[in-house]
Amino acid sequence: MKSIFAVAEYIIKQNFRNKILNVLTIFSVFIIGFSLAISELAQESEIRMLKDFGLFSISLLSFIILLLSVTLQMFEETELKTMHIIMVKPIKRSEYLIGKYLGLIFTIFMNILLMLVILMLIIKLRNSDPWDLKLLLSAFFVFVSICIISSVAILFSVVATSVPGCILFIFFTYVLGHLTIHLKNLVMASENTLLKIIVDIIYYIVPNLELFNLKNKLETTYGLFEPSYIFLIFSYSILYIFIILLISIKYFEKKEFF
């Protein structure tokens, strides 16, 4: 356990030391602040605009931070060969990978929290309720979906041999994760059984990110904020992350570096 936290701490420090990530954090603060200006344009619909733009920015920027963070670590591990130094230290490979994952999601958590606090302050400035449960839940599930993508990113960083390849895989997983539910709906009407089976396989392998997309449903009357649904998707996320990390660890343990 101590080694896991030591790795996590190392990853967090490394992320906070990185200039690009710091600039991106400052940029994300500005983007959230910009929502104040952009909401000014949406006469009589300012609060809605503020929340939509704020949540979209949180979701997009946290994904970019994840991509940059993974790129940075992979570059150091493969190009600068830091992995070789870690491998000779008395630390299990599984502990290293879990520590790396925890460090990654803690960095993203700090960024999301910062952006959310600023968004809530702006909402307060606009004389609206910043403690809106739907807003908080939407932001929380943006974080959960990024946690899922982070676990997939860890898997790809172990499997992939090049940094650009890994980044491309993560990006396409993000896109597919949002599209699969639409794909499933489209083939449900089809009579082609083979197509249905193929889509179903893709559907259950790729993380279903659209389940966590509550930011589009802030003003709907169609629910999806019920505790039973929240519990269901939260369980799904925990299970998915656990499985992906288990597979990553298995692969990582067999991987040869020397």
Q: Which residues bind other proteins (CB under 8 A)?
A: 41-45, 48-49, 52-53, 56, 59, 175, 178-179, 181-186, 189, 203-204, 208-211, 213, 215-216, 218-224, 229, 232-233, 235-236, 239-240, 242-243, 246
* Residue 162: CB minimum distance to other proteins, A: 26
Whichever of 79 and 226 has its CB closer to other proteins, that residue is 226
Instruction: Tell me the C-alpha distance between 134 and 176, whole Å.
Output: 25
**Contact (CB, 8 A) for 14 and 73:** yes
Count of CB atoms situated within 10 Å of the CB of 72: 17
Angle between helices 2-17 and 93-125 in degrees, nearest 10? 50
Instruction: Tell me the C-alpha distance between 168 and 157, whole Å.
Output: 11
Count of CB atoms situated within 10 Å of the CB of 30: 10
* Residue 89: CB minimum distance to other proteins, A: 25
* Residue 203: CB minimum distance to other proteins, A: 8
Whichever of 17 and 182 has its CB closer to other proteins, that residue is 182
* Residue 169: CB minimum distance to other proteins, A: 18
What is the DSSP secondary structure assignment for residue 70, as one 8-state letter?
H
Whichever of 14 and 134 has its CB closer to other proteins, that residue is 134
Whichever of 91 and 187 has its CB closer to other proteins, that residue is 187
Whichever of 4 and 142 has its CB closer to other proteins, that residue is 142
* Residue 242: CB minimum distance to other proteins, A: 6
CA distances from 116 to 38, 77, 89 (A): 17, 32, 39
Amino acid at 74: M
Whichever of 22 and 190 has its CB closer to other proteins, that residue is 190
Instruction: Tell me the C-alpha distance between 107 and 12, whole Å.
Output: 6
* Residue 136: CB minimum distance to other proteins, A: 17
Instruction: Tell me the C-alpha distance between 216 and 117, whole Å.
Output: 20
Let me know how many helices (H) and strands (E) the chain has, helices first. Answer: 9, 0
* Residue 12: CB minimum distance to other proteins, A: 28
Whichever of 159 and 183 has its CB closer to other proteins, that residue is 183
Burial class for 131, CB neighbours closer than 10 Å (0-12, 13-18, 19+): exposed
